[in-house]
Amino acid sequence: MSNHPENLRYTAEHVWVRDNGNGTFTVGVTDFAQNALNDVVFVQLPLVDTAVVADEAIGLLESVKSASDVFAPVSGNIVQVNEKLALSPELINTHPYDEGWLFQICPNNAADVNQLLNFNDYQKIITV
């Protein structure tokens, strides 16, 4: 059974990307990732206006179980971070696809997002 929206793009590192329709993309971790982490208790995110490189570790999620790097899905600039997560990191567990989003990015090349995994390809990774 899957709890992953079909209209998003995904990475092999269990990050999802949603097109905001204005040249920016919202990024978060998948339901699969938050389940593996267990209860998230701390979130470290990149600063707004930070330039990031695809596949580079740019943040950290700490849970009662482990710590996990957050990797940039594409190269670009961070335009917004989810400030609610500082006080309520559990939103990643309870609402990974809406209130628990991590940051918004303006990619250097928006076409790079299309190179990420589609829903079906991501499903193949998590059901192996």
Give residue 19's pLDDT.
97
Work out the pLDDT band at 96, boundaries 50, 70, 90. very high
Q: What is the mean pLDDT of the chain?
A: 95
List, in order of start, the domains of the chain with CATH numbers.
Answer: 16-126 (2.40.50.100)
On the question of pLDDT at 68 being above 70, the answer is yes
On the question of pLDDT at 48 being above 70, the answer is yes
Q: What is the pTM of this model?
A: 0.94
Contact in structure between 37 and 66 (CB atoms under 8 Å): yes
Q: What residues contact residue 75 under an 8 Å CB cut-off, 6+ apart?
A: 51, 52, 53, 54, 107, 108, 109, 112
Contact in structure between 29 and 45 (CB atoms under 8 Å): no
Q: What is the mean pLDDT of residues 107-122?
A: 96
Give residue 55's pLDDT.
97
On the question of pLDDT at 25 being above 50, the answer is yes
